[in-house]
Structure 1
Amino acid sequence: MKKSMMSILMLVILLVFTGCSSSSSTGANEDDTLTVAWLPNESGEDLGEARDEIGKILEDATGKKVEHKTTTDYNIAIEAIANGNADLAFLGAQGYIEANNKNDSVQPLVVPSGESGTLDDAVYNSWLAVQNADDYKMNGEYKIDGIQGKKFSFVSNSSTSGFKVPSTGIVDYFSQQDKFKELKAEDLLEGGKDKFFSEVLYGGSHQGSAVNLLTGKAEVAAFCDTCVNNYVELADGEENKAGAVYKVRKDAAEPFNTVVGKTFSLISVTPVLNAPFVVNTELVSEETREKILETLMSDEIANNEKVFVPEDSKLSGLFKRVSGKERLVEVEDDWFNPIRELSK
């Protein structure tokens, strides 16, 4: 009798836990609204039209109302998707990994492809920029040796290309020297007299980090190409190559409107995995996720000039269209493992 009662009790427990697991993976908490969280880089007014366009298309596809949650801090967007205050989010690779670590129900959907239209070249670039690259030229090559002791601007310590990738690169480079053989990424978080950098600033966004450099608050800054493409143009050199000089456009929107005409140059360029749209599967059912995925990967999105902006367009879209093959493509969690490896 005791064994029988125990078996029944175990079966009930199993059914309860199975039910909980099933409901969390099938979006049992789904409602009639899809809230999309955006990082500070994509939260500006200049990208409002692109955000709204994606929202309208998702509304048509799902029958749900789409609300946009713009942010001024990386952690707000990451916490929103992890804690269930947002259904979808557009995050960097590092931001996605942090959200997934907090809640494994946060999963990637798509990333923008490369010019091939596939994942093969789905990368953008992390820049280390300075006022004058010639000051960092040694024996005909651009080197980062001179950044030590400078005033440095990162984006956020949750940024992939604005912290994780550049800090790893700096540590890898300098730790080969006896003086810095114990250097760690954590040592770059703060500046000071006995620190690697004399001062460390955080722009809060890639745009903010670039402006820190252009206004002289920082002597070296980390930020990415895609987040400043709408505000700057190549003035000299080769695109995405050390030594290239970029100038702020005459019609640049905030926050670059106060530094129009100013220039910066690159001393280091590192490819980075593209940023994903992610979903909280506790809040969005599999049926709705399929509709969202199909829509994001559709020609309607790929051919929408407010989302994928042609090179000669003056619109401030989310992504550039160079080859005409660029689009959003499906991605799995393990695609981001190279970024995870940077933290080991």
Structure 2
Amino acid sequence: MKKKLLFLVALIFAVVVAGCSSSDTSSSGEKKSDSKDTLTIAWLPNESGSDLTETRDEIGKIIEEETGKKVEHQTTTDYIVAIEAIANGNADMAFLGAQGYIEANNKNDKVQPLVVPTGPSGTLEDAVYHSWLAVEKDNADNYKDGSDFAIDNIQGKKFSFVSNSSTSGFKVPSTGIVDYFSEKDDFKDLTAEDLLEGGDDKFFSEVLYGGSHQGSAVNLLSQKAEVAAFCDTCVNNYVELVEGEENKAGAIYRVKDDAAEPFNTVTGKEFTLISVTPVLNAPFVINTDNIDEDLQKQLLEVMSSDDVANNEKVFVPEDSEFSGLFKKTEDERLIEVEDAWFDPIRELSK
């Protein structure tokens, strides 16, 4: 498992930010495109909650001011709805995970990545977030091999994924589980498909899907599941580190007392990480059938601008209580990304 996950991280490479102007004049003196009057942005369930309304609106406001286009937001409760919307042209832009982008691109190669959030360095070299496998704090010792955490005992448990279209909530954790257990004689023929459903003759006794990362975490904390997969960035607004090192196995997190839905039903509950895997950051993507080259260039310039990077409703300072989309710890920003950057995620399906 470690070899493949290290391979995934090692394949991350930097690309150069590009931008140029188009026709007609924006508030910043740049040219505007005449291709569309309205831009529709589709959002996955993870980013569709009311806690991120201000961030979605802020991104829309920036695009409107710089392009002259009206922005409409399409929030969803299902991964497939957002993926289909951008693939079939009902949405012009979308914020998708790497796996969601690959699925949309497979359906329609006119769906292409535009920008991706960097890591603290301001480059793609550390543009990763983290896929977690977590258990309730009181049960954490059951998932240890000596003093270290291990995933051996997840077999036979009630397990929660996010969606089978989720990168960090299915694709990466399922690949890691298969890699780990297929080295054991009893599971040498195990495949990711074997993890999709539970049962007496299955790898897991029961398999649930949270529909969002937040939903998967709540499945764990409400005791519907014994182990759950979800990511750090999607639950950071709701939880706080109480023990251990952030994004390390053994770290203990607690749901904040004032956590918004759906965590308002499990406030104060604690969970422990038993496995942590880095994952390629999620891109903003566009349907190039809907958006002409002039508008593509303009959107790239807008999204990768300093105005967006320094906007505290988009890149939220560490000490802020605001519930935003991204954290600002050092030089994080949005920069241009190419399709090939997501090849490590494609490799997980081979």
Q: Normalized against structure 1, the TM-score is what? A: 0.91
One-letter identity of the residue aligned with 1:314? E
Stretch moving more, 90-99 or 129-138 = 129-138
CA distance in 2 between partners of 1:30 and 1:279 (Å): 14
SS in 2 for 1:57: helix
Counterpart of 2:214? 207
Counterpart of 1:343? 349
CA distance in 1 between partners of 2:41 and 2:169 (Å): 22
Deviations 1:263-282 (A, max 9, x none): 00000000000000000000
SS in 1 for 2:299: helix
Counterpart of 1:135? 142
Question: What are the equivalent positions in structure 2 for 1:1-344 lying under 5 Å apart?
Answer: 30-132=35-137, 133-323=140-330, 325-344=331-350
Deviation at 1:58, TM superposition (A): 0.3
CA distance in 2 between partners of 1:49 and 1:77 (Å): 20
Deviations 1:289-313 (A, max 9, x none): 1111101001111111110001110
Going from structure 1 to structure 2, the CA distance change for 1:188 and 1:29 (only over 3 Å counts) comes to farther
Report if aligned partners of 2:35, 2:295 keep a CA contact under 8 Å in 1.
Answer: no
SS in 2 for 1:120: helix
CA RMSD of aligned residues (A): 1.1
One-letter identity of the residue aligned with 1:311? E
Deviation at 1:327, TM superposition (A): 0.3
CA distance in 2 between partners of 1:69 and 1:169 (Å): 32
Instruction: Write out the 4+ residue segments of structure 1 that deviate beyond 6 Å after TM superposition.
Output: none
SS in 2 for 1:172: helix
Report if aligned partners of 1:92, 1:160 keep a CA contact under 8 Å in 2.
Answer: yes
Going from structure 1 to structure 2, the CA distance change for 1:326 and 1:47 (only over 3 Å counts) comes to same
Report if aligned partners of 1:126, 1:222 keep a CA contact under 8 Å in 2.
Answer: yes
Deviations 1:149-180 (A, max 9, x none): 00000000000000000000000000000100
Deviations 1:213-246 (A, max 9, x none): 0000000000000000000000111100000000
Deviation at 1:30, TM superposition (A): 4.3
Report if aligned partners of 1:29, 1:284 keep a CA contact under 8 Å in 2.
Answer: no
Gaps of 5+ in 2: 1-32
CA distance in 1 between partners of 2:267 and 2:215 (Å): 14
Deviation at 1:70, TM superposition (A): 0.2
What is the number of equivalent residue pairs in this alignment?
316
Deviation at 1:31, TM superposition (A): 2.6
Deviation at 1:212, TM superposition (A): 0.2
SS in 2 for 1:250: coil
Deviation at 1:135, TM superposition (A): 1.6
Q: Give 1 or 2 for the bigger CA radius of gyration.
A: 1
Counterpart of 1:18? none
Report if aligned partners of 2:316, 2:327 keep a CA contact under 8 Å in 1.
Answer: yes
Gaps of 5+ in 1: 1-27
Deviations 1:319-344 (A, max 9, x none): 01112x10001100000000000000
CA distance in 1 between partners of 2:214 and 2:192 (Å): 22
One-letter identity of the residue aligned with 2:264? N
One-letter identity of the residue aligned with 1:343? S
SS in 2 for 1:173: helix
